[in-house]
Amino acid sequence: MIINPYPGTYFAFEGIDGCGKTTLVDMFLAWLGGIKHLSVRRTKEPDKNGLFGRRIYEDLSRPNGLHVTNPALFQGWYACDSLINIRDNVIPVISKKNGAVVSDRSRLSMIYGAKNIQEVYELLNVNNGILGVHFIWPDAIFVLDVSVEVAIDRLKRKGRTLDGHESEDKLKTARELYKLVANPPEDESSIRNDFPNCHLINAEREIDITLDDVLKIAVKILNRRGQLTTPPEA
């Protein structure tokens, strides 16, 4: 991976399904829209309309799809989808001083293909091999943390039919790995270096409070990149 080497800014929102990513992305984009002269693009991984995105969502609806029979190969589809997104959508924007990208999921979602941290590292190697120079790592990844019970309740209230990545066991494993990567214990601090710029955010609180925590981090990054020359409109 390459930590964003471009003059623009790259943000991503992560977490288990039902954590509130889409809502927070909407609110964050609205806030960014108040910053004058900033050109903002929203992206989502995987892309349901893309070649690999369509394959992924179709497979997840099958009880015995590739996500069950060959999870490692299945994660390769995610990496290919991400390669296209970063190459065609992310880099053209962040290569400009006034550019900013906000992504609903990023390559940290490889966590869904792992049962433990060792498998996460194996998938990191797979992603490095597929994306190569296009493996651009965000300036900040906001990992929205909620309990599995809260996540499932939110998904059901939306009328969602749970797919192959949304079983209770899968969500529990993914949540623990997200927490480990975003807030590793002191004796595993090397994880923070291998998966940098991750920020664990409690997303079970009022949405405005959650957003405030995101904005505190984002403001520092935007200031560092010289993009926050005037306060955004409320």
* pLDDT tens-digit series, residues 181-206: 999 998 887 898 999 999 999 999 99
17 annotated to a ligand binding site = yes
15 annotated to a ligand binding site = yes
16 annotated to a ligand binding site = yes
| DSSP per position, 47-105 | -TTSHHHHHHHHHHTSTTSHHHH-HHHHHHHHHHHHHHHIIIIIHHHHTSTTEEEEEES
Of 5-14, 35-44, 120-129, 185-194, minimum mean pLDDT range: 185-194
19 annotated to a ligand binding site = yes
- Three-class SS state of 196: coil
22 annotated to a ligand binding site = yes
Domains of the chain (ranges; CATH) run 2-222 (3.40.50.300)
DSSP state of 225: T
Q: What is the pLDDT of residue 133?
A: 96
Among the listed residues 221, 203, 146, 226, the one whose alpha carbon sits nearest the alpha carbon of residue 27: 203
Does the predicted model carry a pTM greater than 0.85? Answer: yes
Instruction: Return d(Cα 1, Cα 130) in angstroms, integer.
Output: 11
Amino acid, single-letter form, for residue 19? C
Name the pLDDT band for 233 (thresholds 50, 70, 90): low
Q: What is the pLDDT of residue 61?
A: 83
